Structure 1
Amino acid sequence: MPDQSKHVHEDSEGEDEELADGDLSAVKPGFLEPCKMVLVVRTDLGMSTGKIAAQCGHATLACYKALQKTNPALLKHWERTGQAKIALKAGSEDELLELEAIAKSLNLAARSILDAGRTQIAAGSRTVLGIGPGPVELVNKVTAKLRLL
């Protein structure tokens, strides 16, 4: 099945420039410090559970790839500590963009997924924001006020 999403960080037209990554290599969790990845899902789009699952998969992979080259030690730590992933709700694209900017300012990996528009959602719709993985306390600075999906 073809990839039905486009990651913002692959956009060559400069939309990314205002949300440029921080220093992804700067995040260094303590030896036993818990880490997690957060997937923030837009609830205003009315996506089916299957669509949400697919979009979360794309966001997870995008964040993983972002850290694979820049901070492999963080990925290994997250993998060793259980690969925690939490799904949270957001009510709008503006909320996702704000969360993405905050996450990047804290040197966290943050990747938005833009839908290709082949199924339920209009092309170019920002569906899910992946944040992390990163230390729980750092990720919570971005997402603590959000509710579970």
Structure 2
Amino acid sequence: MKQAIVARADLGMGEGKLAAQVAHASLQAYEEADGKTQREWKGGGQKKVVLQANSESELFELSEKARLEGLPNSIVRDAGHTELEPGTATTMAVGPATDEEIDAVTGELSLY
């Protein structure tokens, strides 16, 4: 099992901002998973991969694809306290789910 977090490269987020947004996305998608999936993923080392998107629309397309596959997912919108305007969609996460299920949604993306 793994989780994929997709971050927008087009926003030019600083390293700390990027790390925080990735963490938010990971936790939010994890909370969408059922208890059995949560336990299996946690017991297996909480494998994650961070990938890049280049637009807000790409995040929403991936989220919709994950939703249609029945996979836990989330989109993070920034609160706007530091680098970004309030409501900016920064990251999305899909999973935890099987590697094959995650790859079906995010397999075409490059590593961040």
TM range (shorter): over 0.9
- SS of 1:52's equivalent in the other structure is helix
Query: Who is 1:121 aligned against?
Result: 84
1:110 and 2:76 matched: no
1:61 to 1, 9, 27: 27
Structure number with greater Rg is: 1
The residue number in structure 1 matching 2:16 is 50
Equivalent-residue separation in structure 2 for 1:65 and 1:140 (angstroms): 20
Q: Shift of residue 81 of structure 1?
A: 1.3
Per-residue CA deviations over 1:45-92 (Å, capped at 9, x if unaligned) read 10011101001111111112222xxx1001111111111010000000
Task: Give deviations 1:116-144, integer Å, cap 9, x for gaps.
Answer: 11100111100000110000001100000
**1:63-102 superposed matches below 5 A:** 63-67=29-33, 71-102=34-65
Counterpart Cα distance in 1 of 2:82 and 2:8: 16
Matching of residue 40 in structure 1 with residue 6 in structure 2: yes
Aligned-residue CA RMSD in angstroms? 0.7
Amino acid at match of 1:129: M
Percent of aligned pairs sharing the same letter? 38
Is there any run of 5+ residues in structure 2 with no aligned partner, and where? none
Aligned residues: 112
Q: Structure 1 segments of 4 or more deviating over 2 A?
A: none
Cα distance in structure 1, aligned partners of 2:76 and 2:83 = 15
The counterpart of 1:140, out of the listed 95, 103, 106, is: 103
